[in-house]
Homo-oligomer: A and B are copies of this chain.
Amino acid sequence: MNKAPHSGSSVLKSVSIVGGSGYVGGEVLRLLLFHPKVKVAQVTSASQVGRFVHATHPNLRSVTDLQYCHPETLVPVDILFLCQSHGDSAKKIEDYAQKANWIIDCSADFRLRRTEDYLTWYQAIHPNPDWLNRFVYGLPERHRSELRQAVYASGVGCNATAVILAIAPLADAGLLEKVVADVKVGSSEAGAKPSEGSHHPERSHCVRSFMPTGHRHQSEIRQELGTAFTLHFSVTSVELVRGVLATAHCFLKEKMEERDLWKLYRRAYGEEPFIRLVKQKTGIFRYPEPKLLAGSNFCDIGFEIDTASNRLVVLSALDNLMKGAAGSAVQCMNLMNGWDEATSLTFPGLHPI
């Protein structure tokens, strides 16, 4: 068996994954198996008890012999990743808190701070509203110093992350008046469960207006970036498994020159380990391209000014299962434990792909 390089060390922190058979759980597991500071203790799945984790995550064949255990058999560990369906973490958060010092919840259950937002966007009364403020929104680029002190971090919405990172420098500088965020997404966003909409003959090569209006992730964008600008948000499904491209059509309060924009974005992101500014004058890689980021934790950001008007088009790309989910979650774990933020996250993506 092809062991991950770190296994066997004795000073590792123990970590378990609750709900590990989905796509996000699989990515968290992959990252943890190659992480030099942790050892995976358990991976739970009510439906897969006793099966090898590589039965559902075939890329992990020969990497690990772990088997799924029942959620009821969860034992205490240092760190817990919750990768369940929306709603499941919120109900049992008290129990989970008994089991681990650090919790990172990849669902939407602790992303929002206000109970009324759950009512509005998830049509549900949050079962543990007093826990909402114990969680830090798990986007390191926005909450790094809090995360360094945190024991509880939420996951992030993949589409929200793409839009937040695209326009945050403009929003923070008070420059935004209106944003039309037209987001293109791959099929893995909808998770591992087959549906009529994911049936290959129908989903293949579609350009499907999945949610032209009303997508939940705008609540996260609002929470992070405030209400000083109007936000319009649409999501279209395209032929791709992993990946998000956000095309943010931005209308600014004042005209910006290209070099000022460069300055603004470099100041915001120049030290970020996982944000790259991508903007070239020629060639086919002029702007961010999600397919190049499959498996990587990068969010690439570029922009173009529409010289005929005051529109600024900001483009951001990421892998929805990485920077948009498991990658950011592991980055949070690294920060929360004082480890190098990029640990286990340096895979640069493939080209061609």
Interfacial residues, chain A to chain B (CB-CB below 8 A):
2, 4-5, 23, 26, 30, 34, 55, 57-63, 180, 182, 184, 186-188, 192-209, 212-214, 230, 232, 234, 236, 238-243, 245, 247, 249, 273-274, 276, 278, 280, 283-292, 294-296, 298, 300, 302, 304-309, 311, 313, 315, 317, 342, 346-353
With A199-B192, A212-B313 as contacts: A247 and B182 at CB distance below 8 Å: yes
Check B350–A2 contact: CB distance below 8 A. no
Chain B residues positioned under 8 Å from A30 (CB to CB): 348, 350
Check B206–A59 contact: CB distance below 8 A. no
> In the assembly, what is the distance between CA of A187 and CA of B342, in Å?
33
> A213 contacts which of B206, B294, B306 (Cβ < 8 Å)?
B306
> In the assembly, what is the distance between CA of A202 and CA of B239, in Å?
13
> In the assembly, what is the distance between CA of A255 and CA of B317, in Å?
34
Shortest Cβ distance from A307 into B: residue: B213
Check A232–B249 contact: CB distance below 8 A. yes
> In the assembly, what is the distance between CA of A291 and CA of B58, in Å?
11
> In the assembly, what is the distance between CA of A200 and CA of B203, in Å?
6
Shortest Cβ distance from A350 into B: residue: B295
With A199-B192, A212-B304, A294-B353 as contacts: A346 and B2 at CB distance below 8 Å: yes
Selected A-B contacts with CB under 8 Å, 17 pairs: A55-B283, A58-B285, A58-B289, A184-B184, A187-B201, A187-B204, A196-B283, A197-B284, A200-B204, A202-B352, A204-B241, A208-B284, A209-B287, A234-B249, A236-B245, A238-B238, A239-B239
Check B63–A348 contact: CB distance below 8 A. yes
Shortest Cβ distance from A302 into B: residue: B209
Check A26–B213 contact: CB distance below 8 A. no
Check B241–A2 contact: CB distance below 8 A. no
With A201-B241, A234-B313 as contacts: A296 and B59 at CB distance below 8 Å: yes
> A207 contacts which of B238, B283, B347 (Cβ < 8 Å)?
B238
Check B347–A212 contact: CB distance below 8 A. no
What is the distance, in angstroms, from A165's C-beta to the closest C-beta of chain B? 15
Check A23–B296 contact: CB distance below 8 A. no
> A294 contacts which of B198, B296, B346, B350 (Cβ < 8 Å)?
B350
Chain B residues positioned under 8 Å from A274 (CB to CB): 2
> A249 contacts which of B23, B182, B280 (Cβ < 8 Å)?
B182
Q: Most chain-B CB neighbours within 10 Å: which of A34, A230, A346, A351?
A: A351
Check B238–A200 contact: CB distance below 8 A. no
Chain B residues positioned under 8 Å from A214 (CB to CB): 306-308
With A200-B204, A247-B209 as contacts: A278 and B61 at CB distance below 8 Å: yes
> In the assembly, what is the distance between CA of A352 and CA of B243, in Å?
11
Chain B residues positioned under 8 Å from A238 (CB to CB): 184, 207, 238-239
Q: Given contacts A55-B280, A59-B292, A238-B239, list 20 more A-B pairs with CB under 8 A.
A: A5-B346, A30-B348, A34-B346, A55-B285, A63-B348, A186-B201, A187-B200, A197-B284, A204-B241, A205-B239, A205-B353, A207-B240, A207-B245, A207-B289, A207-B291, A209-B288, A209-B313, A209-B315, A212-B313, A347-B347
Shortest Cβ distance from A306 into B: residue: B213
With A2-B342, A249-B234 as contacts: A194 and B184 at CB distance below 8 Å: no
> In the assembly, what is the distance between CA of A238 and CA of B200, in Å?
11
